[in-house]
Structure 1
Amino acid sequence: MAWILLLLAGLLEILWAFSMKRSEGFTRPFDTGVTLVAMLASVVLLAIAMRTLPLGTAYAVWTGIGAAGAFLLGILVLGEAATPGRIAGATLILAGIVVLKLSTSEG
């Protein structure tokens, strides 16, 4: 259950990063509201997951999901560059998430 909550927390992190970008420096009220609600929900779910998962694993996976997801949204939705170096970096983040999941028996 902790891993599912952590996954949801990571997905909410992607949402708040994307909505923060769309808020144009918190000048657009709707996107600003989405950002703040998603941030709070993401941190709450992370905290619940941390009841059973190790701190380092939970935090690294949470930030990794957010970073890789925001990276993909940037490319697919915002037209950001998909250079070989950027793709390699995102791939390494995802590989790290998989290794952390496979090496953690808690949760």
Structure 2
Amino acid sequence: MSSAVLGYLSGRNLDRAVIGELLSPAWIQNHLNVVISGSTGTGKTWLSCTLGMQAVQNGFSVNYHRLGPLLEELQIAHDDGSIVRMRNALSKAPLLILDDFGATMR
């Protein structure tokens, strides 16, 4: 990917070395977590989706969820007894992306 595509030039203060590491599959293979934080509109969702797409290109399956609706689904699954099945489904993909984490904390 080119620097312009990754948004290095847009004032986002992305660390090229860190982004380079995240574009390789090593962090997924090593079961590491990544937390992306920042103000509204800074590109957190865009970056997480970019990392997810890169993971797919590297042969990994990805599970993407917005956290608010996922929490609602988990509550329903808990209530109807299907929580174990849902947790198993969430854990199958090597990469789980939870988006809008902070939005659920308000």
Structure with higher RCO (Cα < 8 A, 6+ apart): 1
**TM over 0.5, shorter chain:** no
- Give the number of the structure whose residues are more often helix, by fraction: 1
- In terms of Rg, which structure is larger? 2
TM-score bucket of the superposed structures, by smaller chain: 0.3 to 0.5
Structure 1 length normalisation: TM-score? 0.36
Structure 2 length normalisation: TM-score? 0.37
